[in-house]
């Protein structure tokens, strides 16, 4: 079941950059080894700065802290993970471009205003469903990684 890079590149019928990037017969983007995503490190000293709504975001606090998450863009993912083993509550609150609250949807709640991560390597990947709604597509956590209900 292998699919080599050379095989994938052989399927390019519309080249964007030689054999390194192009479209195949199904209009699927092919040819690159990977896509590099930005990584943001947020700490208890940066709670006044909104977290970006894309890429990978690490949050660290030794106690309990809350960060605001930039308003979602429909169809765009962001992954938020704890950056230490701290037992503090890492709370991420949603907001919209208009300054109102964005909501989060998960299996636990459809109307949560935020998410809480606790413990080492807790993480949640969110996708913007609209400009005011995030939906969790995956989450892991040993202590807590869930949508808060209040």
Residues in touch with other proteins (CB under 8 A)? 1-5, 8, 11, 14, 16, 23-24, 26-30, 32-39, 54-56, 58, 73-76, 79, 81, 83-85, 119-123, 125, 129-130, 133, 138, 140-142
Cβ(134)–Cβ(102) below 8 Å: yes
Which is closer to other proteins, CB of 93 or CB of 135? Answer: 135
Least Å from the CB of residue 89 to other proteins = 16
Nearest to residue 68, comparing CAs of 83, 53, 58? Answer: 53
Output the six-digit token pair for 107.
């299996």
Least Å from the CB of residue 19 to other proteins = 13
Contacts of 139 (CB under 8 A, 6+ apart): 106, 122, 123, 124, 125, 145, 146
Least Å from the CB of residue 27 to other proteins = 5
Least Å from the CB of residue 33 to other proteins = 5
Contacts of 130 (CB under 8 A, 6+ apart): 72, 74
Which is closer to other proteins, CB of 66 or CB of 120? Answer: 120
């Amino acid at each position: 079941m292998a699919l080599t890079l050379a095989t994938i590149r052989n399927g390019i019928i519309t080249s964007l950059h030689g054999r390194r990037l192009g479209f195949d017969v199904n209009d699927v983007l092919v040819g690159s080894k990977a896509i590099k995503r930005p990584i943001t490190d947020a700490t208890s000293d940066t709670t006044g700065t909104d977290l970006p709504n894309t890429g990978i975001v690490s949050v660290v606090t030794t106690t309990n802290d809350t960060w605001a998450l930039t308003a979602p863009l429909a169809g765009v993912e962001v992954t938020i993970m704890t950056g230490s083993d701290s037992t503090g509550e890492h709370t991420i609150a949603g907001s919209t471009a208009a300054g109102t609250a964005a909501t989060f949807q998960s299996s636990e709640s459809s109307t949560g205003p935020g998410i809480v991560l606790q413990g080492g390597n807790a993480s949640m990947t969110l996708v913007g469903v609209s400009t005011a709604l995030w939906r969790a597509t995956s989450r892991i956590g040993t202590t807590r990684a869930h949508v808060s209900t209040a």
